[in-house]
């Protein structure tokens, strides 16, 4: 499963047959009637490693994903999106929590490459998230900003946080918005950039009911909570 064919940076993810079964089980719990005629190919008891069988299975699983994609309610479900990126995001979080920021960042960049929108591409095998809400990219961008900060890559952290802030605003995620504003203010100071507007926005946010906590969580704490 690849990101867009015309991307300068191609990314792939791998899934086991058990992952497809788990996806089907979760989708049936939510969209039972919509999936009456859609199911993954049955499990084989022998011949699984024969080249011809492997090719046949791959094509059957591709057809299964295409059928899911053609079902509107499934296509727009966070469950479908999570199938393609959740394992990689959780793996990156483990690395982040362990202080391995460079490998975590590389994994997050792969996730973001899959999540980035490309409205002209509607193949379920490519640009997997073009049909999903931009809000799904928020945890990825926030985690990338955290990694860049810990690597002292201030400009890159600023870029990631600036991309995440509009999404936090639209989604009404006040804690994320406040944490991003505080981070952007700090980065702007370090980079010699103006931060008055950021300060005004944060102050306005703090003045709105309900009031933010006196000791609000940092962006890193919010990122870790996201997948705990």
pLDDT, tens digit, 9 for 90 and up, residues 191-228: 999 999 999 999 998 887 765 555 789 999 999 988 66
In a domain, 143, yes or no: yes
In a domain, 138, yes or no: yes
In a domain, 118, yes or no: no
Number of domains in the chain: 1
In a domain, 226, yes or no: yes
Q: Is 129 helix (H, G, I), strand (E, B) or coil?
A: coil
94-109: per-residue pLDDT in tens?
Answer: 999 999 999 999 999 9
In a domain, 197, yes or no: yes
The helix (run of H) or strand (run of E) holding residue 228 is none
pTM score:
0.84
As a whole number, mean pLDDT of residues 137-156 equals 97
Are 137 and 115 spatial neighbours (Cβ–Cβ below 8 Å)? Answer: yes
Residue 76, C-beta contacts closer than 8 angstroms, at least 6 positions apart: 131, 132, 133
In a domain, 147, yes or no: yes
Nearest Cα neighbor of 186 from 224, 148, 212, 225 is 148
| Structural domain range at position 195 | 134-228
In DSSP terms, 2 is beta-bridged to: 12
Q: Is the pLDDT assigned to residue 153 strictly greater than 80? A: yes
As a whole number, mean pLDDT of residues 23-45 equals 90
Q: Is the peptide bond before 210 cis (omega within 30 degrees of 0)?
A: yes
In a domain, 17, yes or no: no
In a domain, 2, yes or no: no
């Amino acid at each position: 499963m690849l990101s867009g064919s015309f991307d300068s940076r191609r990314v792939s993810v791998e899934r086991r047959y058990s992952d497809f079964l788990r996806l089907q089980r979760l989708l049936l719990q939510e969209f039972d009637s919509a999936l009456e005629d859609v199911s993954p190919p049955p499990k084989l008891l022998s011949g699984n490693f024969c080249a011809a069988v492997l090719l046949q299975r791959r094509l059957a699983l591709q057809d299964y994903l295409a059928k899911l994609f053609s079902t509107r309610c499934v296509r727009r479900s966070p469950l479908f999106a999570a199938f393609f990126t959740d394992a990689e995001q959780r793996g990156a979080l483990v690395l982040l929590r362990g202080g391995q920021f460079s490998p975590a960042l590389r994994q997050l960049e792969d996730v973001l490459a899959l999540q980035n929108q490309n409205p002209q591409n509607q193949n379920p095998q490519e640009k997997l998230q073009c049909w999903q809400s931009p809000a799904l990219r928020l945890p990825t961008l926030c985690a990338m900003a955290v990694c860049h900060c810990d690597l002292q890559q201030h400009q890159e952290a600023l870029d990631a946080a600036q991309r995440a802030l509009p999404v936090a605003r639209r989604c009404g995620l006040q804690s994320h918005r406040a944490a991003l504003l505080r981070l952007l203010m700090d980065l702007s100071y370090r980079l010699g950039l103006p931060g008055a507007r950021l300060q005004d926005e944060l102050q306005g946010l703090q003045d709105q009911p309900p009031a933010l906590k006196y000791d609000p969580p940092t962006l890193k704490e919010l990122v870790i909570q996201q997948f705990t």
